[in-house]
Amino acid sequence: MGNKLYVGNLPYSVRDDDLHQAFSAFGAVASAKVMMERDTGRSKGFGFVEMGSDSEAQAAIEGMHGQSLAGRALVVNEARPMAPRPPRSGGFGGGGGGGGGGGFRSPYGGNRRRDG
């Protein structure tokens, strides 16, 4: 068991300090982070808490899972490593493309050159 916890179903009003305070009842909190949208600055509704030890993490899971925080029942479990994601399409790399040539497409078929 690790000491890093996933905390889901967070109310959008909860911030890092609120999370830290709620979990400190179960032991030393090394870090508490609510994940935020990059563009809007709004909470994504989940976060991570790192407890001081594995036993404190287990106590926090048992004590906080299903408990209400600002009116929402929390989901608390051991955090799993992030799965690797495939590269995004678009941007740099890959690709291919069509087109080519220096003329324009005639509605009557074939390529016609502009200089003729």
Boundaries of every domain in the chain: 4-78
Six-digit token pair at 56? 């404190």
The dihedral formed by the CA atoms of 35, 37, 66 and 75, expressed in degrees to the nearest 10: -70
41 pLDDT band, cuts 50/70/90, is very high
Residue 52 pLDDT greater than 70, yes or no = yes
Q: What predicted TM-score, i.e. pTM, was given to this entire model? A: 0.70
Record: fold of 4-78: Alpha-Beta Plaits (3.30.70)
Pairwise pLDDT comparison (51 vs 1), residue with the higher score: 51
Chain segment 65-116, per-residue pLDDT in tens? 999 988 999 999 999 988 888 887 765 555 555 555 556 566 666 655 555 5
